[in-house]
Structure 1
Amino acid sequence: MTSTTTLSMALPVEHRDRLMRLAREVSFEAGERLFEEGRRADRFWIIRTGTVLLDLHVPGRRAAVIESLGHGELLGWSWHYAPYVWQLGAETLSPVRAWEFDAEAVRAACARDPEFGRAVATWVGRVVAHRLQASRIRLLDLYAPYGSGTPA
């Protein structure tokens, strides 16, 4: 992921500190399913250690892995946009330690402080744009007759 989408580069220090006050530490074993496409998105994570795979349900086929996420990356953006339903699925590839955030609490903090809200929205928007492009390229690689045309 680009440096502008990881937490350390995406938010100014004062907003990053404010967000981190809402965090709680969690851990997951390898192979744990964190969320499923189409289910309620009520939380999100920032990965501290380990790797999480994002996948997309493809009817009649195995889920397509879209991207792998690691240290400092946002896991989950669907919590930010109504109707708050996961657009992808996620599973841990290795043991993961992360900071977990309650989506409702973060949305409320964003509503109370418009500057903080804009910073979070800009960060999440960058992540969504990056993931959309990654999804497009990965699906072309998997299913288009000549792939995405990008070098491997």
Structure 2
Amino acid sequence: MTTATTTTAALPAGHRERLMQFAHEASFEAGARLFEEGRRADRFWIVRTGTVALDLRVPDRRPAVIETLGHGELVGWSWHFPPYIWHLGAEAMSPVRTWEFDAEAVRAACAEDSEFGRVIAVWVGLVVADRLHASRIRLLDLYAPHDSGVLE
């Protein structure tokens, strides 16, 4: 579910430009894993082209796809919060081109410039809230009993 808060459009132009100073291009083939749930979160991405699926491990089942992300969307938020461990997994659903960011460098810039840090923190927080909502809805779709009366 692409919303204005999950894309770079949510960032004021000057802060978006500052963030992009840390970017370098990265590409992933269809089926490539960007990251795995439970592993160290040391980078993040903004999708340029293609689609990335966020998934959640479910015992005795295939990972549940929680959300798909596309152009301009932030892939990964766990890099922003200690202990910097991925809460979900991510897989390229098609060939994907991204801007990739070193999390430590961006966190250092946030610490050096409190206004930039606040803007990035609010943006990442909005993404987390959006992903939490999407996760809840998707898990209810997958696992709630049919006709259970559960509404969005």
TM-score, reference length from structure 2: 0.95
Unaligned 5+ runs, structure 2: none
1 CA distance for matches of 2:62 and 2:151? 23
Alignment of 1:63-102 (within 5 A): 63-102=63-102
* Identity percentage of aligned residues: 74
1:4 aligns with 2:37: no
1:4-56 per-residue CA deviation (whole Å, 9 max, x = no partner) reads 22102x11111000000000001110000110000000000000000000000
The one-letter amino acid of 1:149's match is L
- Deviation per CA, 1:93-139, whole angstroms, max 9, x where unpaired? 00000000000000000000000000000000000000000000000
The alpha-carbon deviation at position 149 of structure 1 amounts to 2.9
Secondary structure in 1 aligned to 2:128? helix
Matched length: 149
Matched, 1:53 2:50: no
2:151 match: 149
1:117 corresponds to: 117
Matching residue of 1:20: 20
Structure 1: stretches of 5+ with no match in the other structure: none
RMSD: 1.0
TM-score by length of 1: 0.95
SS state of the match for residue 34, structure 2? strand
**Would you identify which runs of 4 or more consecutive aligned residues in structure 1 move more than 4 Å?**
none
1:37-79: CA deviation from partner (whole Å, max 9, x where unpaired): 0000000000000000000001111100000000000000000
C-alpha separation in 1, matches of 2:5 and 2:76: 16
2:47, 2:57 → 1: CA distance? 23
**Partners of 2:99 and 2:47 in 1: CA distance:** 7
- Residue in 1 aligned with 2:139? 139
